[in-house]
Amino acid sequence: MQHQKTKKLSKKSKIEIIDLPSDGPLTVVPLSAVLSKYLKDKSRHTVKVLNKEGQLDERWLKDELPYWQGIWTNHGVHIRYDRRQRSFFLTAIR
């Protein structure tokens, strides 16, 4: 008779969700604050930043996001935008 191996259940860490305030054209300032806070955070788990009410419009995503990704990649933060969820995902580059 063979013994079945038992699976060890591990808890998945929940993604921290941050909602951007709708400050009109100044929404970039809270995004920059979130990125700076994430950079200083020691745990460096994945963070989801919601952009659901279109705080940052399509023009910003097309023109400015690649520039921001280049800057923050040098600091060790990877920014990824998911169009379906309308949110940014911040992950640490190790």
- Average pLDDT of the segment spanning 40-62: 84
- Measure Cα distances from 65 to 6, 68, 80, 81 in Å: 45, 5, 9, 9
Residue 5: strand, helix, or coil: coil
pLDDT in the model for residue 24: 67
Give the CA radius of gyration of the chain: 17
What residue ranges define each of the domains in the chain, with the CATH number in brackets? 17-92 (3.30.1370)
Higher pLDDT, 93 or 53: 93
Ranges assigned E (strand) in the chain: 16-19, 47-50, 77-82, 87-92
pLDDT in the model for residue 74: 92
Spatial distance between the Cα atoms of 45 and 13, rounded to a whole number of angstroms: 8
Query: 6-10, 36-40, 44-48, 81-85: lowest mean pLDDT where?
Result: 6-10
